[in-house]
Structure formats: C-alpha cells, structure tokens
Amino acid sequence: MSFDTDLEIALVDGDTPDLDAVKAKVLAQLDRDGMHHDVYSDITDAFSSGRSHFRVHPQYLLQLLDALAKLLPPISFDARALGEQFRETWIAEYREGSRTYTQGPWDYE
C-alpha cells in the first residue's frame, strides 16, 4: 500500500475555484478523517498549478475530491491520481458538484 500520490487537476472552464471560501469546511473534513492540514495546501497547489504531490493513499484522495466537489458545485474539473503502485491510479470527472465518471483504482492481489 502506498501513501505517495501525484494528483493532476484540469479545470474544464479554466476558472480556478475560490478554495479560501471553503477552507474551514475542507479543514473540518481533514480533521474528521484524521489527516494533516498540509493536505489542504496540496489541494490548493493542485487546483492552482494543475499538479501536486500528496502523502496520502490515492483511494483517500478520490474520496476527498468527492467531498470537495460538493463544496464547489459550479466548478467542473477532471482529476487523475497516480500512486506508487502501478494499479493505484484513477481518473475522475466532476460536474456540478458530483463525480460523473470514474475509472480505477483497480483491485489487485
């Protein structure tokens, strides 16, 4: 199991979301999940530059983006995560606050 993940974000409309407006809610989610607040900085990096490195499992990152998308319903974006293991990867599309498409992560033995 890996805990290093690269996340790429492609903003569909090119509009960078105002993450500061939802910062308190994101930090509360991280607290509930027992995650360090550095993850919030990684999220802002991913949405501003298109890519960031996280010290979390790629499956958790998918769940976190599901929660984040609900906080940012007008923002449409695509995401791709690449974990340490070859099959620890996924792609997802978010529209109007919901995940509309996903491939991966794939189960492996």
Mean pLDDT of 80-92: 90
Confidence (pTM)? 0.91
Alpha helices by DSSP H, 1-109: 23-33, 38-49, 58-71
Q: Which two tokens stand for residue 79?
A: 């995401």
Cα separation of 31 and 21, whole Å? 18
Cα separation of 33 and 52, whole Å? 20
Q: What is the pLDDT of residue 40?
A: 98
pLDDT digits (tens, 9 = 90+) for 56-72: 989 999 999 999 999 99
Lay out the sheet containing 5-11: strands in order across: 51-54, 5-11, 77-83, 89-95, 98-103
Confidence of residue 2 (pLDDT cuts 50, 70, 90): low
